[in-house]
Structure 1
Amino acid sequence: MANKVLSLIPQLWFKFGLVRLWRLVPRPLRRRIVARLIPLPKRAGRRLAAPQAPVMMCGFLASPLGLGWSARLTRGLVEEAGVPIRDFDIGHAFATGERDAVLPDASGPATVIFNFNPGQFGYALQFLPDDILRDKYIIGYCVWELERIPDDWLTPLTLVDELWVPTHFVRQAFENAGVKLPIRVVPHIMSAPAGLARDRARFGWPEDAFVATVVASLRSSLARKNPLAAVDAFRRAFPGGENALLVLKLGDSHLEAEALATVRAAIGDDPRIRLLLDTLDNDDMWTLLASSDAVVSLHRAEGFGLVPAQAMLAGRPVVATGWSGNLDFMSEETACLVPYRQIPVEDPSELYVAPDLHWADPDIGQAAAFLRRLHDDPAEREALGQRARQGIETYFRNAHAPIVAAIREWPHATKS
């Protein structure tokens, strides 16, 4: 019953706008309140010395959010290695759209993979079986977007035996905070669907227009994802009557009314800038990217950069800030990397509160110049898209085999 009540909190929090009142509470006090109401459980039984089969995959396995994609991609690597998997989908507890699920048995020695961040451990564990921490080897697959993880992640990390992260940038963020756990870089390895093709009729886009697309979840911080910079760059690139369109595919707009209002105000009545607020399934998201002429990510920080990676796999040129996690798979040969200056982190949503840290402020003028060049030179646009696809396919191919081989070597649990 307690879990049922807890699972309603995030849904009611957003539905009735209570999150805005909560954000008025100073962040240090908010953290103390949460820690008091949802204490971190202690590990029971023995800690296994190394990973072993089966794997208990915990996360937002059916969610359209980035954490959902991350969980599914990680699960795919384990499945490919032939290791038995038990799924513990708790997305419903975080208001990510899933229904309450019946969870499997969690008893016995196994490897547990938490596909969510340390700040969510205490809350997530309220929805997982008590045995999920008993006689286990625990891996945290975690992502962060700044140069150092939050200090309040350090205590939850005592539950974990090993960390997986998607990029070297994220690994450095943990190491900068003094984390001594083993850390392995495990990228979000994926491939484009077979037969992927452009289908502009699906979205009502004109066939002859130059279409630049931005994809962002408003729950991931408007300041960090920075789609308003793309609006500015688009208008600078196309100040006249050019046949160009900017599409802003924004997720979770129903949960972030204030952020959506900010975006609408920036767009105004410009008919060349379109909002797409529908929730798209995996196939439609790939089709969206394949139907674009360019994909824009003028982020201030990325832990990985899932959408730019997908765009590259779809053979589309990407205009992206040349900083943070996306540099693991992007170079000046395979993307339009936008120069930037470092500015202090300032996020009105308070998802990122780190006044002593900095993130990127991309050069809007250079982003506009890239967009204009891609518009004016279809041959270069096509060539860059092909280089992008080849570059990221090579990156994923080189990362894939060692990871799957290592998982395949995990021994199977033996009865005690």
Structure 2
Amino acid sequence: MGIIEDCRRLWRTLPLSTRLKVGKRIRFLTEPLLAASIPAARPYPQRSFRSVTIVGSFSSPIGQGIAAKLLDYELRSRGIIVRRIDASEWIGAPIDPQLAIRSDDPAPDDVLIVALNPDVAIHALAKLGKDKLRNRKVIGYWVWELEVVPRFWKLAGRFAHEIWTPSHFSARALEKLFDIRVKVVPHPVSLLPPPVMTEERRAKCREALGIPASAFVAVQSFSLASSLTRKNAIGAISAFVAAFHDQPDARLVLRHLSGDRFPNSLHRLREAAQVAGQQIILRPAGSGLDDLHDLYAACDVYISLHRTEGFGLNLAEVMLAGRPLIATNWSGNLDFMDSECVALVNADLVALDDPDKVYTQKAARWAEPRMDEAIRWLRKLASDPDQRREFADAARTRALSALGGNAVETLQGNETPDN
């Protein structure tokens, strides 16, 4: 394990452009070989399924890991027997020891749900082995953030009988590439207890950050592995400073993950924050989610001027936590929000241009949020606590009604026609 970690650490010191080029060539050579070792999907006996095995990055704090845990929780709460296989180490995902689980062996009749996107799912399935894949139903629980899906994903479609994805935006993209059924299965965020928001927690977190009790505070949390440009935290910095240049006590707190894996992106973020001055606080993510929930408690508004989202897990959680939200009026998050419950920022659709090179699809596009609208919403919500409360209450109600989950119905083939 020490040698593997040393190699990974050395790999991360290489420029991102070099890693992407080398990774693409390695994938071109190795993935067909890995795919050849995985049984292709074949017809399976029609029956009522009552047990599943989920393959996911359970011990990782990344979005796919959270999605796997949410699916696990929903299925168990509805009486489905669930076994879990943690693939975090297999796919090189960051591991949080607090989230570690012990993997199970799948039972012969289990449906296998692969809660890993195709770029890493092939590696996990190859590691799992033929014997655990043969003669069972396989579902790919995948999500994509653009309207154009990477072509190399199609290889993974050979091993799946159907695809689940958490939003209609993602479903429309996946349907263009795959010739198997795509079903919308939203993340069941509202089934979990929402983060506890108390005045004591709010005061304690603000004190730790050195923020006055009366200051207006906005928060954004994101992973640099998801592309700094897509998450548009630098855009949030620009809008915040423009909105509150005359309010030196106002603060924007940016919680970030995976800085060690994407040092160039972290450098760009730090440069932007330094230029903006003391109003911007950068905060590396801690272990677990307590530090994120502390920030929810401390903030007056959560801001996400994202260029695109496949779903938007953080946004859903913010709504359930009862915090007002400023978000881009585009992509997967619109499945569970509208202008009645969220301060939506309109955007222009422009050609994809990701200097982080996380997204490289030709002919793809994403949103360019309108900064003047973001600035107006920041100022409006800072000056109008009644509007903040109105948005927060409406957002919680909307999220509770929209995000209760439908995985069991989909598993049993009783999903609504809309899916």
SS of 1:342's partner is strand
The equivalent residue for 1:217 is 223
5 Å-filtered alignment, 1:97-246, equals 97=95, 103-106=103-106, 108-177=108-177, 179-191=178-190, 192-193=193-194, 195-198=196-199, 199-200=201-202, 201-202=204-205, 203-204=208-209, 205-246=211-252
The alpha-carbon deviation at position 128 of structure 1 amounts to 2.0
Following superposition, the deviation at residue 97 of structure 1 comes to 1.1
The whole-number CA distance in structure 2 between the counterparts of 1:280 and 1:364 is 33
CA 1:308–1:104 in 2, change beyond 3 Å: closer, same or farther? closer
Structure 2 match to 1:362: 369
Task: Tell me how far apart the structure 2 counterparts of residues 336 and 31 of structure 1 sit (CA, whole Å).
Answer: 41
Q: Is the 8 A contact 1:227 1:298 kept in 2?
A: yes
Letter in 1 for 2:186: P
**Residue 194 of structure 2 contacts residue 317 of structure 2 at CA under 8 Å; is this kept in 1?**
no
Change (3 A) 1:374 1:328: same
- Following superposition, the deviation at residue 212 of structure 1 comes to 0.4
Q: Tell me how many residue pairs correspond in the alignment.
A: 402
Match of 1:75 in 2: 72
Identity of aligned residues (%): 32
Give the match's secondary structure for 1:33: helix
Q: For 1:389 and 1:10, how far apart are their aligned partners in 2? A: 45
8 Å contact from structure 1 (residues 88, 128) kept in 2: no
Give the Å deviation of 1:195: 4.2
Instruction: Tell me if the contact between 1:13 and 1:19 (Cα under 8 Å) persists in the aligned partners.
Output: no
* Aligned residue number for residue 57 of structure 2: 60
**How far 1:273 moved relative to its partner?**
0.4
Shift of 1:112: 0.2
Residues 344-373 of structure 1, C-alpha deviations (whole Å, 9 max, x = no match): 111123221112111101111110110010
Whether contact under 8 Å (1:112, 1:132) holds in the other structure is: no
2:408 to 377, 380, 404: 404
1:320–1:338 Cα contact (<8 Å) kept: yes
Render the CA deviation track for 1:195-237: whole Å, top value 9, x for unaligned. 4325232342332111100111001111111110000000111
Post-superposition offset of 1:121: 2.0
Q: Which amino acid in 2 is paired with 1:119?
A: D
Which is further off, 210-219 or 79-88? 79-88
Q: Structure 1 residues 328, 224: CA separation in 2 closer, same or farther (over 3 Å shift)?
A: same
8 Å CA contact 2:35–2:155 kept in 1: the answer is no
CA distance in 1, matches of 2:36, 2:10: 22
User: What secondary structure sits across from 1:303 in the alignment?
Assistant: coil
Output the aligned Cα RMSD: 2.6
Q: CA deviation at 1:109?
A: 2.8
Is the Cα contact below 8 Å between 1:82 and 1:408 reproduced in 2?
no
Whole-angstrom CA distance in 1 between matches of 2:53 and 2:4: 21
Alpha-carbon distance in structure 1 between the residues aligned to 2:235 and 2:216:
18
1:43-80, Cα deviation, whole Å (9 max, x unpaired)? 17964244723211101112211111100011112111
**What does residue 334 of structure 1 align with?**
341
How far did residue 24 of structure 1 move? 4.5
Q: Is 1:113–1:140's contact at 8 Å kept on the other side of the alignment?
A: yes
Distance 1:77 1:101, change over 3 A: closer
The aligned residue for residue 377 of structure 1 is 384
Q: 5+ unaligned residues in a row in structure 1: which ranges?
A: 411-416
Counterpart contact for 2:253–2:280, Cα < 8 Å: yes
Q: Does 1:349 pair with 2:356?
A: yes
Q: TM-score, normalised by structure 2?
A: 0.88
How do 1:3-14 residues align onto structure 2 when only pairs under 5 Å count?
Answer: 8=5, 11-12=8-9, 14=11
Q: For 1:368-410, what per-residue CA distance to the aligned partner results, in whole angstroms no more than 9, with x for missing partners?
A: 110010001111111111111111112124xx3x543454789
For residue 176 of structure 1, report the CA deviation from its aligned partner.
2.3
**Cα offset, 1:153, TM superposition:** 0.9
Partner SS, residue 92 of structure 1: coil
